[in-house]
Amino acid sequence: MLYKEDWEKVRQRMLAWWQGEILDRVALQVDAPRDNARPHNWDPFYLARHLDEPERAFTEWENYCRATFFGGEFVPNLWANLGPGIPAAYLGAIPHVVEDTVWFEPPRELSLEKIAALEFDKNNYWWEKTKELTVLAAEAGRGKFFAGLTDLNSVFDIIGHLRGTQNLLCDLMDRPEVVKKATALVNDIWLECYDELSGITGRFQEGTVGWMNIWFPGRGCEVQCDFSYMISPAMFEEFVLPHLAEECRHLDQSIYHLDGPGELPHLEMLLDIPELDGIQWVPGAGNPGTGSARWFSMYRRIQEKGKLLVLQGMDKADVEGVLEAISSRGLLIETKCDSEAEAREILKKAERWTRE
């Protein structure tokens, strides 16, 4: 792979990681600017800002790749980032691309009953654009970088984009059976979108990659429900868990995006999903980072249950301490360094820090 010269070794290391094993060291993603290269940042929403000029975006992306050291298990991954929960746009929500995100405006007068009866229009502009960008990225990336899947997000977050989050919270109390009909419908659409998009990238590359930038050796994907921050464990079990479990059964590999302390009350139920492979922990704004000892007991619990553990955005100074505190088996850490030389050094040190 042009921008990942050591890909075959990384592939073997990741295959071991998916089995909860260690090939030679802990799985470690290290992002750094290349030595002797002018730094070049990548705007993750560049494609969304240049929908009618994808070739311009690909040129910008490759400029970033040439200037970036993809250290360890960090892989070059161009994915069609059209906003978290873009399937809401396939069903009528209106996306707005702003400075650092995409937010969705609910369509007017879309009741919960209408959502439960929606049909997936395959000629929808945003669905057609998602497929087009995925095809172009996969073709452009052959032999050079991965083409990742768009952020399908979660069933409840998609419905929240369509209905409005506050309205959906009230619906859970007032019309629970209609909510279940709506979630069943949207979950089927989620699975259909996944199948078509992964089928596209699968023609050009081995495995799949999504927004987490983690290589799945088969038909893999991130699963999540950010909406669950606002509901009780009882509601999570009744409304969210069934379709999450269905998604995991549908996939070869899956990692749950556990987004902040508000989702911790649901952790044990997640750990009991047999087909769920791992947990990615994100502490959330205002909380100690992934390298903080505050979370070590939770990390150990996840590992005790036999799940993989993904800790991204870790301060490089915390990597050694985390590796001293918990097992390196099934652990993946992502961090950033200021130079390629520094990144190579931390990868070398990780061999000594790795513990089983």
pLDDT at 3 over 90: yes
Higher pLDDT, 290 or 107: 290
DSSP letters, 201-252, are HHTTSSSEE-TT--EESSSEEEEE-GGGGGS-HHHIIIIIHHHHHHHHHHSS
pLDDT single digits (tens) 199-242: 999 999 999 999 999 999 999 999 999 999 999 999 999 999 99
> What pLDDT score does 108 carry?
82
Bridge partners for 94 per DSSP: 105
CA distance 25 to 290: 20
Q: What percent of the chain has pLDDT over 70?
A: 100
Q: Is the pTM of this model over 0.95?
A: yes
pLDDT at 314 over 90: yes
DSSP letters, 290-302, are TT-GGGHHHHHHH
Average pLDDT over residues 328-336: 98
CA distance 267 to 271: 6
Q: In which element (H, E) is residue 5 found?
A: none
Architecture of domain 7-353: Alpha-Beta Barrel (3.20)
> What pLDDT score does 132 carry?
97
Query: What is the rounded average pLDDT for all residues in the chain?
Result: 97
Strands (E), the chain: 27-33, 68-72, 77-79, 94-97, 102-105, 146-148, 208-209, 215-216, 220-224, 253-259, 278-282, 308-314, 331-336
34: Cα within 13 Å, side-chain hemisphere: 14
Domains of the chain, residue spans:
7-353
Q: What percent of the chain has pLDDT over 90?
A: 96
> What pLDDT score does 109 carry?
77
34: which DSSP letter?
P
pLDDT single digits (tens) 249-275: 999 999 999 999 999 999 999 999 999
> What pLDDT score does 347 carry?
98
Average pLDDT over residues 32-36: 94
